[in-house]
Structure formats: C-alpha cells, structure tokens
Chains A and B, each alone.
Chain A
Amino acid sequence: MTGTPPTLWSSLREHLDLARELRYLEIRFDAEKCKGTWQCYEVCPVGCWTPSKPLRVVEFHNPELCIACGACVLQCPESAIELS
C-alpha cells in the first residue's frame, strides 16, 4: 500500500465524508439512452421510476424519495443512470 496508513482519525474522516456525499447524491438520468428494459422500475424500493408504456421508456419522478441505494444504476443495461 502506498501513502500513509489510515489512522483512527483519518478513517473517521473518511466515514463522515462518505456520509455527507451519500446525502447529496442525486440521480442523473440520460433519457436518450433508455431502451425501456424497466429494470430500474423493477428494483427501485421507493418508487422513483415510472414506466411509460407507449414509448417503452421510463420517467424519473419524485427525486425527494430517492435514497441513493444505487440499485437502478447497477441494473441499467444502457448505463443511462448515474448517481453523482
């Protein structure tokens, strides 16, 4: 391992930074890439995604419900969803 070994303090800092980051993560959805597999809708535990039947795409709703769990990001086969 290069760099300095982690200390109790640096590990704590890392945790806090991660927690802050986690809190402000937001979904970025590139609707152009969506091919309508609806995997995001299948896996979202809070109901942020709604399938739009005629167009075979999804719509992102209710960003305030998002818990940044990352399930839709991982399951999207087109990499159309990002958390940042």
Chain B
Amino acid sequence: MIMATVFMKWLEKNPADYDRGIRLLTLGRIRQIQQWIVDTYVRKGIRILEIGCGTGTLAVMMAEKGAVITAIDASPSMLGVAERKIAANNLGTLITLKRMDAAQIGDVYEQESFDLIVSSLVFSELPEDEKKYVLSLCRKLLAPGGKLVIADERIPGGFSPRLLYYLFRFPLALLTWLLTRTTTTPLRGFNSALEGAGFQVHPAASYLGNSLVVYESQAALESAQPTTPEGTAALPAGVVGRLRHRVTLRTLLLDLWLLFFRIMPPYPKVRPGLYAVGEPDRSSPVLVTGNFDLTVRRLVKAIDGAVNAWLLVADSAGINVWCAAGGGYFTAEKVIAAVKSSHLERVVNHHALILPQLCANGVDGWRIRRETGWGVHWGPAKARDIPAYLQARRQKTDAMRWVRFPLADRLEMVTVTLGFYSLLILLPVLIFWRGLFWPITFSLLGLSYFYAVVHPWLPGRDGLYKSIPLAFIALAGLLLYTVLWNQLPGLSLFHWAVGLTGLSVFTAAELQGMSPLMRGEQANWSYEAVIGLALAAVYWLIPHITGWVS
C-alpha cells in the first residue's frame, strides 16, 4: 500500500514522453503504419472512430484527407496535446475529441454510426475481458461494410522469429521505459478474440519481423457463439475464476523479489476481471481493487475464509492502488470499464461497489455513480479491516480510515528503497571503489534500519532536518567506537566521519520518500547534491591540503 512518492511522481508520464516512447519502441515504424492506414482506408467524408487517439497524430492525418473523425482517449493530458495539434492544423470542424474509456463507446454512440474504426497500440493495453467487450461494441457501431483496422504489437510465431524478437525487444523495452516510462504489452491470440466478437480477420500489413501487425476486420456473416471460460462451470458466466489464499514456492519467491525490487517493472499483474472469493452469492458485496499481484494476494489473504465476496479487479497497470491513482493509472474510467466488461449486473442483485479508500485521490467516485448508476462506498484504507468493515454494515471507524506508518511498514519500505538504491549506488561502488564497498554497505544498512526504527522520534517532518540528529548519532557512535574499542588512525577516523555524515544525509533525505505520508522529498535532491559534493570535496581535499597524505 505504501510506496515512495518519488516513484509515484516518476510514473506520471507526460504526452511528449509517450510519443517519444512509442517512436523508440517501434523504431519509428509507427509513422509508416499510420501513413499506410491513411492511404489504404481513409477517403473523403467517411465517418471514422479512433479509439485511443493519444496525441492526435493519426486523427490529424486522417482529417487532412477529409474524413470526419471522432477521436476518444482516456487521458486528459493526451487529449490536451491533441486539441492543440488539431487547432494548429485548423481541423477543428472535422475532428471531435472525447475523453472516454474504450468500454464506454457503446453507451455514447448509436449503432452503425461509423464506416471505419481505427485503433493503434491500444488493444494490447486492454485487459482480456475488456478487449472482448470493446470488440463486440465495435461490431455494433460499424455500418454495413464498415471496417475495423487495428495496428498493434504482437509476439511473432515460429521459434527463430520469436527468439530474435525477445533478444531485440528486451533491451529496447528497458531503454524505452527508463527514458520515457512508456511500456506496451504485445497481443496474444488476438485473431481468435476478433473472431469471437463476430469479425472476419486478415492481417493486412506487418512490420518489424511480424511484431507490428495491422489487422483488418469486417463483420462476419454469422456471428460466432460467445465462448465461456473453461473451468468456471460452477461460477456465473463472466466470472474469471476463484481466488484463494495460498502460499506456494512461487508466491514466496515473488514476495522476496518484491521486497527488494518492488518499484521496478515489469510489475507482476493479475488478469483484470471479476473473481469469487469464498462462496459468494447474488447478494454478496463487490470489492474493487487494482491488478498489482501483491495487492490482490494481500486482499485475498485478508478476506479469504472471513467473508464471501466478489472481487472486481480493475486494470491499474500492475501498480498498487494508491500510487496508481496518484499517477493517473487507476481512474474512474478503469473501474467503469471493469464493471461493464464483467457484466457485474448479471452476477449480483444489488448496485453497490466498495472501493479502496486509498484510490480516492485518483478515482472520481461521482463519475462512477453518474455513468454506471452503481453506488460507490469507500472501504477501509487497509485490506485487513475489510471483514470488520463489512460486519459493521459498511461503517468505518477512524482507525480504519487513517493511514499510519508503523514500524513493520517502515522496515518494509526501507528494504524496498534499499533494494533500489543498492543497484544504483552499491553496484557502481563494488565495481569502481572495491575497498569502500563493505564499509558503505554496512553503514548504509545500519543507518537505514536505525532511521526506520527511530523515525517518529527524530524532530521535524522533513528528511533533511531529520538527517542532522541522525548524523550526530552516527558520529557519536563512531567516537564511542574509537575511544572504547579500537583507536582508529586520524586519517581513517576523518574519512569515516565525513562518510557517515554524507550517508546520514542521503539516508534520511531519501527515505523521506518511503510513504506518501511524507511530502515531497524530491525537493531535497538539489540540497542533497550540494551537500554531497561539498562532503566529497572535504573527503578528498582536506587530507591533501593539510598534508595528511602526500
């Protein structure tokens, strides 16, 4: 639940980053694909729906040929850029922009109202159920003879193309993510999804060794029977499966990995959709959450055996709900899409959703109420309070509402932070300054965990202020050590003192970002850099100046 604010802010990508990311990931092919779509399918006057217009590049290209375009996207910042782009090209009369999630198109547009529906690199981002749901909506919205054209990433078939793809894609994806925080997930089995929605498909063009494909689909004469997921015979249609609390080797290994490297993607995800926990019936409560694996497992652990409930897992990009909501990944649109694509109304006989309280910073409850007619109730902040909350008929005590930062959470988050910084700092130290590796490692570990323990008792709220008493405690420890145990020679005593001061500042200032409960630690970066450089100068220069070393 608790995650570094530095991480939360870093996730907030801006539209320019997104455009650069997509260009990088597709090695520039995205422009060629867009041009090909415009040349092949777009004619003057046809009605086009673009699902996921992003920054509006394709919409502008299509409007320049005279088509009438409705372009939707779920991201307000992307739409902002698109709007400026359209205004700059004077195409405002031909392009209508709407902020909406793909799953909502069925509610807004009339049947058979488009001649062409296009979408590039959007379907691969949708959860499985939503993909099928949106495809079925597309079929309804297309006029007779209309076409659905989808350009997307896929994993190529065949052993050597696939090997080549993975070898090539992994470093490219990592680089792209580091530079722009943009990632994509290639499609799997998309042909059968299209056919399942009643389309006839053929791949119309492919790029980059078959990893970027344009699918052209037309309504099939007879629509295929909707298929039911396997192994869910005892559950109502539309339910993905049953979740139980289990500890296996896989979950243990995953927990260990997440303890150190939680903030590094790829985040382990749960397939979004509706799940049963226990033996829920039509009147059982519906709990909504994000699709970060750890979130779902902790939630199931907290309620399995205690309550019978439906768990609606919405797509939060595999990020915990608080950070995902703060970073714009977990939104009202995602919850609405999950409600619609799971056909929740057929499974339960009430209209109440229970949302995690901590997603209220990004999920607009009124939007969900307005657009779905479902009631929104803010559940407790912590999953472990859910049984008591339900027992009390959805009444929260203040203790369930408030987030505190107890010792166990502090130790956990220090470990998470250290996992990340060990790669950032300790790895270079190990490579370039071998002799300093163990002193720095032990000091950093000692200071960090000590800081986690004493954190509430250090004065001030800001990590930089807290670093002052921390540094004094560290120096007092050093003094005691040299007086009582082992008299250190002057130069190494000096080095230790400067080093410990530097690490104290770094530890306290950086661990400020352990939880959103502590605000804005990044503002400390510039001070940290200045203090760090000053201390480094002292560390190397003073001994030279005073002739300590020759």
- Does A53 make an interface contact (CB < 8 A)? no
A67-B517 in contact (CB<8A): yes
A42-B396 in contact (CB<8A): yes
B520 CB to closest chain A CB, in angstroms?
Answer: 3
The residue in chain A whose Cβ has the minimal distance to the Cβ of B19 is A1
A16-B525 in contact (CB<8A): yes
**A window 64-80: CB within 8 A of B:** 67-71, 74-75, 77
Q: Which of A42, A46, A67, A69 contacts B378 (CB 8 A)?
A: A42
Question: Chain A contacts of B365 at CB under 8 A?
Answer: 39, 74-75
- Does A45 make an interface contact (CB < 8 A)? yes
Q: Complex: how many Å from CA A38 to CA B5?
A: 27
A44-B401 in contact (CB<8A): yes
Tier of interface size on chain B: 35 or more
Q: Known A1-B19, A2-B84, A75-B365; judge A42-B357 contact (CB<8 A).
A: yes
B9-A19 in contact (CB<8A): yes
B17-A6 in contact (CB<8A): yes
Q: Complex: how many Å from CA A67 to CA B359?
A: 14
- Does B542 make an interface contact (CB < 8 A)? no
Question: Chain A contacts of B352 at CB under 8 A?
Answer: none
A52 CB to closest chain B CB, in angstroms?
Answer: 15
The residue in chain B whose Cβ has the minimal distance to the Cβ of A13 is B526
Question: Chain B contacts of A42 at CB under 8 A?
Answer: 357, 360, 378, 396, 401
B361-A15 in contact (CB<8A): no
Q: Which of B85, B326, B520 contacts A19 (CB 8 A)?
A: B520
Prevailing SS type, chain B contact patch? helix
Q: Which of A2, A22, A23, A46 contacts B402 (CB 8 A)?
A: A46
Q: Complex: how many Å from CA A16 to CA B16?
A: 18
Q: Which of B14, B357, B366 contacts A43 (CB 8 A)?
A: B357
**B window 62-111: CB within 8 A of A:** 81, 84-85, 88
Q: Which of A2, A6, A68, A75 contacts B14 (CB 8 A)?
A: A6
B360-A75 in contact (CB<8A): yes
**B window 351-380: CB within 8 A of A:** 357-358, 360-366, 378
Q: Known A15-B9, A75-B360; judge A45-B403 contact (CB<8 A).
A: yes
B312 CB to closest chain A CB, in angstroms?
Answer: 19
B520-A77 in contact (CB<8A): no
Question: Chain A contacts of B448 at CB under 8 A?
Answer: none
Q: Complex: how many Å from CA A70 to CA B364?
A: 11
Question: Chain A contacts of B10 at CB under 8 A?
Answer: 15
Q: Known A1-B55, A45-B381; judge A6-B16 contact (CB<8 A).
A: yes
Q: Complex: how many Å from CA A74 to CA B360?
A: 7
B357-A45 in contact (CB<8A): yes
- Does B523 make an interface contact (CB < 8 A)? yes
Q: Which of A2, A18, A45 contacts B358 (CB 8 A)?
A: A45
Question: Chain A contacts of B366 at CB under 8 A?
Answer: 75, 77
A46-B403 in contact (CB<8A): yes
The proximity string for B residues 121-157 relative to A, scoring 1 for CB distances below 8 Å and 0 otherwise, is 0000000000000000000000000000000000000
Question: Chain A contacts of B364 at CB under 8 A?
Answer: 74-75
Question: Chain B contacts of A19 at CB under 8 A?
Answer: 9, 520-523, 525
Chain B interface residues toward A at CB < 8 A:
5, 9-10, 14-17, 19-20, 55, 81, 84-85, 88, 326, 357-358, 360-366, 378, 381, 396, 398, 401-403, 516-523, 525-526
Q: What are 28 contact pairs spanning A and B, CB under 8 A?
A: A1-B81, A2-B88, A5-B20, A15-B9, A16-B522, A16-B523, A19-B521, A19-B523, A23-B519, A42-B378, A43-B378, A45-B357, A45-B358, A45-B403, A46-B402, A46-B403, A47-B401, A67-B517, A67-B518, A68-B519, A69-B516, A71-B360, A74-B360, A74-B361, A74-B362, A74-B365, A75-B360, A75-B365
